[in-house]
Structure formats: C-alpha cells, structure tokens
Amino acid sequence: MKCQMTGNSRMCVVALLAICLVLCMVQIGLATHYDFNGETVRVYTMGRGAFFSEGPNYAWLQEVEEMFNVKIEFNSTGAGNFISSVVTGMIAGDPPGDIFWTRHGITMQLAQQGMLQPLHGIINDEYYQRIPEIYRNRHFYEQVGTPYAFSSNDDFAHQGIPFHNPVGIAWNKDMFAELGLPDLYELQESGDWTYQALIDIAIQATQDTTGDGEIDQWGVAGYSGGIHWHQLLSTVASNNVDWVVMEDGKYTVNVTDPAFLDALQLWQDLRILHNASGSINGRALFAEGSLAMLVSCMAGLTTARNSGMEQEWGWVYYPKGPNAEDYAAFVHMFHVASLPLGVENPEALVELASALFRSMDPYMAQPLDEYLESGLDKLALDGFITDRESYETFRRMYSDMRLLPFFRDFFVHQDGVQEAVTGIRDGEVFALPAFAALQPALQAALDEYLGQ
C-alpha cells in the first residue's frame, strides 16, 4: 500500500513532532529544576570514579553538570576502607562525599551505624515509577522499612554487563551432551532442577579423563575456591529459608532450622562425601572446558567469553531445595547510592545522582519500558547469552530479582559466621553444631540492632 501525504499533512506531522519535542523538553525541565549554583558536589565511590573519566560517560558527566549547574568531583577508596573512611569523616564533621556509591551491603552497614540520611518522602511511589521495573524491589533500598539508598543501576555497563545480574548456574552443554547428562533446560521447565539433580549430575561429570589417578574434570564449583560463602547463602535462599523469622512479633534467629542447615550441608556433601566439587578455580576451569557447572553471577562468564571458550554454555536458575516450591533469582553484589546523614538538599542530590547514573527516567539511555529488553539484547550481542533458553531464563530472573536473605550483610559480618560457613563447606565442622554455638550471640546482636 502506498502512503500519500499532502503538504498540509506534512505540516501536521512536523507540528506534532515539534510538540512532542517540546513535551520531552518540558518533562526533562520538570525533572531537573534543581540548580546547584555552580557548587561542587563530591561523589565518593568504591574505585569507580574512572567510569566517568572518558568517552561517552565523560560526555554525559559534562551534560549533567550543565543541566544542574554543578561541578561533580569523584573520590574513591577500596571496599575494605569504605566504611571506616565514611565513619571517620562523619565523626569529624567532614564526610568524604555528598553522595556515596558502593555495594548494597556496605551501604546497609553504614545505615546500621547511623551514618546515612533516611530518605522518607523521596524514595516513594513516584520515585519507583521512574526507575526500571526490575529494580523496584523496595528491599534493595530499605532497612527495616526505612529507605536509605536509591538505584544506580547502570554501574556495570563499563564491564559489558548492562545491569546487575543474579546468581545462577552456567553449564557446559557440549560436555553434558558427550556424557549423556540431562538437559538442564528440560529439568528447569519440568520443575526437576533440584539439589538432588545437581548432586547426581556433578557426581557423573567428575572424572579422571586421563587415567593418571587425578581428577581433571569436575562436576560443579563456584568462581573461586570451589564455592564462595555468599554462594552458599544463595543455597540457603534457594531452599526458601532465612536466617531470621518473625515469631510473636519479634525477629528470631533461625540458624538451627533443618532447612537452613540442609542448604549449607549440600556443599559439604558435594565436596567431601561425593568429591564432586574441589577447592578449585571454577571460573578458569569452566573457561577451559573442564567444569560441567559454574555457580556464579553472569559476570563470572567474563573469563569464558574473553578466553574464547570453545564449548557452548547455557544458563539456568540455581536449583531449588526440598523446602522450596519454585526457583528464585537472588543478586548478591548489588550497588546503590546513598547520602550522608544531615546532608543539605537530599531531594536535589537524589535527582542529581539519578541523572548521573542514568538510573531514572528521563535520564536513562533507553526508554523506561524498553530497559529490560535492551539489556537482554546487549547481553546476547556481547556474548554472555548464547541461546534462546538462557535469554528467556534471564528474562524470568529479572522479572523477580531479589536480595539474598534478610539482613544478609548484617548476618555475614557477625563474628564467626564466615568461618562457620567456610568450615562447613570444607568439611571441618558440621552445620548444626557450628550454628547452634553461634545462635545466642547472633540473637543478641539482632536484638540490639533492632532494639527489641
């Protein structure tokens, strides 16, 4: 069908386009009515200031500075020093930044110590409508119902990963086919992708392929040291259990719950009982084709992609435990922004930071309702997604992405917790006595923190 357009029609179209342009400018104008009068705003980061030092990100930084009439400076430190430097500066009345940009866990520890500005009335329903749907889980930003943080969702873009990614399992499809192992996509769709399926497959895949008496092909591992403690906590979450439960109006430590203990025991069984997961660098072994299943976030596949891994891989949820009815996608390395306690003009700073990070409409690099699709397409284009099934798995994961268990970072930083978890993994202790011994101290710490 031919489309004919008269001169008047063309004029109407041009007029409509002009109106749309004006409306867009009005929208941005309404969103950026904050004028910092040429003042300097400091962003304190965990080694990420270089992200805005060159290329398109630097050009965007300049645009934001002009938009808000502000000068933005970056200071940074490592993860190990971030909390202490903020606390020291706050006590001295000189915080190291006007905006903090770091991991969710570090942010919530600062909130716990009273270092952050509560954001009631700013991180509200209107705010959530301006950020991508996959980041609207309020647990990303709140501590016991109080918002202390807000989204900085594009901070992984410089690594080729367009958004935060949850923990799952990458599997070597070629190895599975060669060994006649079950297709994980089929197990996932039928609901049979479980702890027991993981164990059975890992046992079959672990082999001495050269006959020299040494295992050179492993069934399953994390990206370093066999399995990292935060991946062990993904197992807890995938068994539909938490280390804290609400009982009679009080938060109670739940670390002797059989479902909690069974989840931790899984990795001891894999490593010690079945010898199917050694103390190995899973990331490297997966890239060279000698590991069947890699437990990681999608970032863990960077090594495989960059090293030119020859085998095809797939991507599935973390398997569900016997206490769970369905799969769940948990993110463990979530980055957010926050403000120091007592900062002036918090609403303006949230708007400025959201523009800088392009985390909120209308500053985003793509339309709000196309964020997920464009991100998935970029993962596929950059070689992180290799088949239609993993594309759809990621879509499902991002549609219901959650944080690891309640107060995860409060929990893992209590004395003895990390040692107990790694001891369980390494077969040095059993789960029940290790956590039964820690339970009183954990309850006391939780009671003090919550004032209950």
pLDDT digits (tens, 9 = 90+) for 351-399: 999 999 999 999 998 899 999 999 899 889 888 888 999 999 999 999 8
Q: What is the pLDDT along the chain (452 residues), one digit of tens a residue?
A: 333 334 444 334 334 334 343 334 434 444 557 999 999 999 999 876 677 888 888 999 999 999 999 999 999 998 889 999 999 999 999 999 999 999 888 898 899 889 999 999 999 999 999 999 999 999 899 988 899 999 987 555 556 677 777 889 999 999 999 999 999 999 999 999 999 999 999 999 999 999 999 999 999 998 776 666 667 778 888 999 988 888 888 899 999 999 999 888 888 899 888 998 877 788 889 999 999 999 988 777 888 888 888 899 999 999 999 999 999 988 877 889 999 999 999 999 999 999 999 999 999 988 999 999 998 998 898 888 889 999 999 999 998 888 876 667 678 788 999 889 888 888 899 999 999 999 999 999 988 888 78
What is residue 28's predicted lDDT score, i.e. its pLDDT? 46
Tell me what pLDDT residue 258 has: 94
Q: Which two structure tokens, joined as six digits, stand for 366?
A: 């793509």
Spell out the CATH class of 36-162+334-381. Answer: alpha beta
For the chain, the domains span 36-162+334-381, 167-332+397-450
Computed on alpha carbons and rounded to an integer, the radius of gyration of the chain in Å comes to 24
CATH number of 167-332+397-450: 3.40.190.10
Select from 238, 166, 235, 243 the least CA-distant residue to 406: 243
Burial of 130 (0-12, 13-18, 19+ CB in 10 A): middle
Residue type, 322: P
Q: Please indicate whether the domains covering 36-162+334-381 and 167-332+397-450 agree at the CATH topology level.
A: yes
Mean pLDDT of the chain: 86
Helix, strand or coil for residue 77?
coil
User: Nearest 5°: phi and psi at 137?
Assistant: -70, 115
Per the rule left: phi > 0, alpha: psi between -120 and 50, beta: everything else, 295 is beta
CB of 123 within 8 A of CB of 351? no
How many whole angstroms separate alpha carbon 9 and alpha carbon 25? 24
Tokens of 421: 């978890």
Orientation angle between helical segments 229-238 and 258-268, nearest 10 degrees: 130
CA–CA distance, 249 with 265 (Å, rounded to integer) = 30
From the list 292, 294, 282, 238, the residue with the least C-alpha distance to 264 is: 238
pLDDT of res. 30: 42
**CA–CA gap between residue 267 and residue 287 (Å, rounded):** 22
- The answer to whether residues 379 and 161 touch, using CB atoms and an 8 Å cutoff, is yes
